[in-house]
């Protein structure tokens, strides 16, 4: 069975999500190694959520409890956050709920800003990472592949992508009220990853022209060349900070890349630039720092620097716009339909061993009866042919009914009926199809 342990901006504080986002070791392998009943694990970790999708061996007693135990133990081992601190900060989903939740997440319906586009790529990368780590399973592969299909369906069939906006664009829109002309703004970007590239595109859409970039990891020059920006070295970074109208940080650094001390260090160089006339821009207006990092890139003490305002993810979340209900409702309908199809296919797969067991039982009885008829001298085989045709006809309705029940979530009723009527116990689902194939009766009837 599938299980999801989810901590998101809806259930946990950004401080807790921050701590979960920087594991010292990958979490998925720790979950998978916890117990032999764990079939696989995929972890989706973004700035707004930390989710573990776990495939459990369903016949195991208390599979849900074991899955939660494996996940919480892995989180503590990788991040240092004990289960006691997570209490109340996460939710647990199981069975058919898992597919609908992941499909909603991938489609941007569970994001801080409904419809934001970054999450779809993050979900795909989570599966890719788990493949590299060797922690996926057949059912998790199917789940995540169907999630990507559902996301594309939502994107192509609804206006949800236009209704929602990415965190980057929302942050810039919040900044827009204080900026009269983006083309005059001196913008300093800190970070060179995919999020930074999205930020550059959003800045240019706003009309920003003067953009420079700094990388704590030393990749600024390469990024600047690719995107037509100016690179800022570590030595000139404080001066660039003090000189900028807008600073945007979006790195994965585990330490603060900007603090009040950074402004203080750059103030002297900034004042020298103003005195020499090398700073023609009017810096009497308030300046803005937008921190898009998780963990936080900016020390909260920046808010105490005179003339500087700090906008972080927590604040952006509070200003997230109301959902456009029509687009969101249509998107959720598509997600629910996709989840039902996913569950239906899974139920059909789960009922197959029972159907196989019934056919094996019936054809076993048939073989015994045919042998008895042959022993009585039916050399022409007419009786055998008639019996096999009869059995095929009789099995058609029970087989069809099995799949119908499975699609409505009533597979257990069918399995119980087999036990009550025929004494058939489906105890080894994995072995039943193989046994049927060996008898050569998989296509009979």
Q: Could you give the residue numbers annotated as active site?
A: 47
Integer Cα distance of 44 and 51 in angstroms:
5
Question: Is 383 annotated as belonging to a binding site?
Answer: no
Question: Is 162 annotated as belonging to a binding site?
Answer: no
φ, ψ dihedrals at 76, nearest 5°: -65, -40
Integer Cα distance of 48 and 12 in angstroms:
9
* 3-state secondary structure at position 61: coil
Question: Is 151 annotated as belonging to a binding site?
Answer: no
Question: Is 271 annotated as belonging to a binding site?
Answer: no
φ, ψ dihedrals at 6, nearest 5°: -125, 125
Tokens coding 258: 């900007």
Question: Is 304 annotated as belonging to a binding site?
Answer: no
CA distances from 266 to 119, 238, 304, 380 (A): 36, 4, 16, 102
Question: Is 118 annotated as belonging to a binding site?
Answer: yes
Question: Is 122 annotated as belonging to a binding site?
Answer: yes
Question: Is 49 annotated as belonging to a binding site?
Answer: yes
Could you tell me how many residues make up the chain? 445
Contacts (Cβ under 8 Å, ≥6 apart) of 376: none
Give one DSSP letter per residue of 359-398, joined into a string.
HHHHHHHHHHHHHHHHHTT-TT-HHHHHHHHHHHHHHHHH
Cite the beta strand spans of 237-355 per DSSP E.
246-249, 287-291, 308-312
φ, ψ dihedrals at 246, nearest 5°: -140, 125
* 3-state secondary structure at position 179: coil
Question: Is 156 annotated as belonging to a binding site?
Answer: no
Question: Is 276 annotated as belonging to a binding site?
Answer: no
Contacts (Cβ under 8 Å, ≥6 apart) of 141: 127
- Nearest in space to 114 (alpha carbons), one of 158, 147, 145, 146: 158
Question: Is 117 annotated as belonging to a binding site?
Answer: yes
Integer Cα distance of 55 and 41 in angstroms:
6
Q: Provide the 10 A C-beta neighbour count for residue 306.
A: 6
- Nearest in space to 50 (alpha carbons), one of 158, 64, 78, 166: 78
Question: Is 250 annotated as belonging to a binding site?
Answer: no
Strand-pair partners of 290: 248, 311
Contacts (Cβ under 8 Å, ≥6 apart) of 181: 207
Question: Is 116 annotated as belonging to a binding site?
Answer: yes
Question: Is 368 annotated as belonging to a binding site?
Answer: no
Question: Is 192 annotated as belonging to a binding site?
Answer: yes
Residues in the annotated binding site for NADP(+): 191-196
Residues in the annotated binding site for substrate: 46-49, 111, 116-118, 122
Residues in the annotated binding site: 46-49, 111, 116-118, 122, 191-196
């Amino acid at each position: 069975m599938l299980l999801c342990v989810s901590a998101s901006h809806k259930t946990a504080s950004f401080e807790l999500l921050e701590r979960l986002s920087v594991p010292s070791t990958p979490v998925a392998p720790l979950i998978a190694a916890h117990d032999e009943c764990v079939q696989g694990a995929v972890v989706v970790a973004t700035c707004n959520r930390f989710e573990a999708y776990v495939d459990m061996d369903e016949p195991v007693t208390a599979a849900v409890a074991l899955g939660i135990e494996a996940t919480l133990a892995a989180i503590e081992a990788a991040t240092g956050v004990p289960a006691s601190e997570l209490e109340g900060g996460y939710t647990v989903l199981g069975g058919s709920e898992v597919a609908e939740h992941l499909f909603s997440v991938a489609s941007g319906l569970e994001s801080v800003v409904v419809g934001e586009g970054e999450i779809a790529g993050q979900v795909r990368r989570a599966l890719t990472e788990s493949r590299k780590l060797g922690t996926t399973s057949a059912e998790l592969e199917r789940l995540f592949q169907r999630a990507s299909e559902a996301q594309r369906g939502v994107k192509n069939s609804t206006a949800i992508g236009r209704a929602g906006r990415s965190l980057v664009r929302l942050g810039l829109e919040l900044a827009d009220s204080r900026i009269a002309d983006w083309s005059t703004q001196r913008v300093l970007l800190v970070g060179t990853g995919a999020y930074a590239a999205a930020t550059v595109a959003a800045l240019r859409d706003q009309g920003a022209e003067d953009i420079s970039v700094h990388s704590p990891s030393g990749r600024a020059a390469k990024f600047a060349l690719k995107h037509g920006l100016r690179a800022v070295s570590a030595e000139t970074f404080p001066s660039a900070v003090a000189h900028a109208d807008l600073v945007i940080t979006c790195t994965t650094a585990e330490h603060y890349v900007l603090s009040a001390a950074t402004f203080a260090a750059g103030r002297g160089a900034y004042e020298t630039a103003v005195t020499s006339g090398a700073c023609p821009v009017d810096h009497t207006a308030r300046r803005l720092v937008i921190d898009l990092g998780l963990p936080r890139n900016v020390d909260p003490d920046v808010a105490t620097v005179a003339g500087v305002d700090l906008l972080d993810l927590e604040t952006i979340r509070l200003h997230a716009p109301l959902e456009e209900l029509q687009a969101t409702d249509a998107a959720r309908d598509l997600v629910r339909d996709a989840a039902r199809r996913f569950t239906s296919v899974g139920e059909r797969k789960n009922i197959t061993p029972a159907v196989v067991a019934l056919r094996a039982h019936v054809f076993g009885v048939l073989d015994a009866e045919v042998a008895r008829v042959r022993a009585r001298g039916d050399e022409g085989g007419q009786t055998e042919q008639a019996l096999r045709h009869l059995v095929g006809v009789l099995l058609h309705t029970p087989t069809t009914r099995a799949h119908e029940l499975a699609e409505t979530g009533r597979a257990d009723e069918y399995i119980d009926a087999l036990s009550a009527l025929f004494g058939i116990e489906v105890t080894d689902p994995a072995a039943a199809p193989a046994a049927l194939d060996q008898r050569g009766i998989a296509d009979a009837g």
